[in-house]
Amino acid sequence: MSVATERRTDLRYRVGLNLRAVVGRSYPRIVGANREPSWIFFEAFLPLLGIAAYVFIYQFFGLQATAAILGNPPMCGDHVCASVAEQNQYLAAVNANTNALIASVVLGGTMVAFWLNVLWSMASQLYWEKEIGNLQLYMMAPMNRMALLGGMAVGGMVMTSMRAVSTLVAGIFVFGVVFQVASPLLLLAVFFATLIALYGLGMMFASLYLLWGREAWNLSALMEEPIFFSSGFYFPLGGLFRIPGWGPAVAIAGSFIPASIGLDALRQLTLGSTAFGGSLWIFSVTTELEILVGMAVLFLILARYCLAYLETLAKREGKLTSRHQ
């Protein structure tokens, strides 16, 4: 075997190769997608409307509550207001809670962008590559498969951040949401820990989906609304714990998705831990950050093992390149 064709095993070469694979796989997502001008409209602007609908629901509830407080007789909670001062106090509380709930929706909307990207551009991606015939080329290439998934994750994060930023900007400038960030460094730490854990989960799913056929696509579709619900994307997750019986069970199940814990921490950091009377939070921010870091490590390790195991299994069962099954 000549020197040129001999398999290179030295660490420097392998690290360089895998880094090039990460860059190579993220490149089409970062650059290629932006070459399609319609993408900005379809992927960044249009989804904002769905978020806006949830914002208007809270505004509607807020207006109904305000109308009741200002009605005849003026209602303060479940009794008639005793004085103008009490009436004003209730009005201020409704305004503050409505703003906090709208801010929760906006933060949830940014996380929805990343969750959908994880589902459709991470978890389903190897299945999609199999469908269009690219997977066999990836399998023949000499880089580590984790580098391939890592490239997809990095590209996906960058690609999705445009939609996430659009949602935040719309929340602040269109809906007038007020965020009070007390600890920016902690906020960044929570945000990136959430993203790494989420994409780690996506990498793990990608391996599992490799083995499944069309069930993979349908499973991704199934993990939209039920996860939005059980992970509290549009309301503080603590609301689920208020429902006796099944509520806590659903909330605990939803907490296995890193976005739920991440959102709870992000909401505490941007709205203040006293928002909603401090009654709708799950854990303290530092505890939630520790959980997120643990999840990130766990999912990345699981992704590594799942990928190796399921690649072998898919090869053995002859499903690695079989399309439309």
Partner 1 sequence: MSTYWRTFKTAAWLGWEMDSNWTEPWLFVLYSVIKPVAGAFILVLMYIVFVAIGRPQGDPDAFSYMYVGNSFFIFVASVLFGTFQVIQSDREWYQTIRYVYISPISYYVYILGRAASKIAVSVFAVAITLVFGVMFLGVRLHLAFADVPLFVVSTILGLSVLLAIGICLGGISFLTAKHTHGLAEGIPGLFYVFCGVLFPLSVLPDWGQAVGRAIPLTYWFDITRRLLTEGSTVNTTLGGYDPLTILLFLVVSSVGFFGLSVLIYKVGEYFARKAGKIDMTTSY
**Considering only residues 41-80, where is the footprint of partner 1 by CB under 8 A?**
41-43, 45-54, 56-65, 68, 75, 77-78
Q: With respect to partner 1, which residue has the nearer C-beta, 65 or 261?
A: 65
CB of 1 to partner 1, least distance (A): 36
For the chain, how big is the Rg over CA atoms in Å? 23
Residue indicated by tokens 């976005």: 259
User: What would the two tokens of residue 232 be?
Assistant: 């509290």
- Rule CB under 8 A: say whether 205 interacts with partner 1: no
CB of 17 closer than 8 Å to CB of 146: no
Site track 208-237 with partner 1 (rule: CB under 8 A), x = hit: -----xxx--x--xx-xxx-xxx-xxxxx-
| Selected binder of partner 1 within 93, 168, 253, 302 (CB under 8 A) | 93
Tell me the angle at which helices 84-117 and 46-70 cross, rounded to the nearest 10 degrees.
160
Q: Does 243 bind partner 1 (CB under 8 A)?
A: yes
For 285, the token pair is 């921010």
User: Which residues, in sequence order, are bridge partners of residue 80?
Assistant: 75
189: which strand partners? none
Q: For partner 1, which residue of 16, 32, 71, 294 counts as binding (CB under 8 A)?
A: 32
Q: Which of 222, 267, 232, 284 is nearest to 253 (CA)?
A: 232
Q: How far is the CB of 323 from partner 1 (least distance, A)?
A: 9
Q: In this chain, which of 98, 160, 255, 268 binds partner 1, going by CB under 8 A?
A: 98
Output the smallest distance, CB 163 to partner 1, in A.
9
Length of the chain (residues): 325
* Nearest of 227, 232, 233 to residue 242 by alpha carbon: 232
Smallest distance, partner 1 to C-beta of residue 11, A: 32
Q: b vs e for 51-88, b when ≥16 Cβ sit within 10 Å of the residue's Cβ? A: bbebbeebeeebeebeeebeeeebbbeeeebeeeebbe
Residues within window 128-157 making contact with partner 1, judged by CB under 8 A: 128, 131-132, 134
Q: Which of 21, 22, 101, 103 binds partner 1 (CB under 8 A)?
A: 101
Nearer to partner 1, 17 or 223 (CB): 223
305 binds partner 1 (CB under 8 A): no
Nearest to 140 by CA among 8, 321, 325, 324: 321
| Residue 182, H or E segment | none
Residues 11-30 that bind partner 1 (CB under 8 A): 28-29
Closer to partner 1 at the Cβ: 184 or 277?
277
- Nearer to partner 1 by Cβ, of 50 and 294: the residue is 50
**What residues numbered 244-273 form the site for partner 1, per CB under 8 A?**
none
Got the DSSP string for 122-136?
Answer: IITHHHHHHHHT-HH
Q: At its nearest, how many Å lie between partner 1 and the CB of residue 34?
A: 10
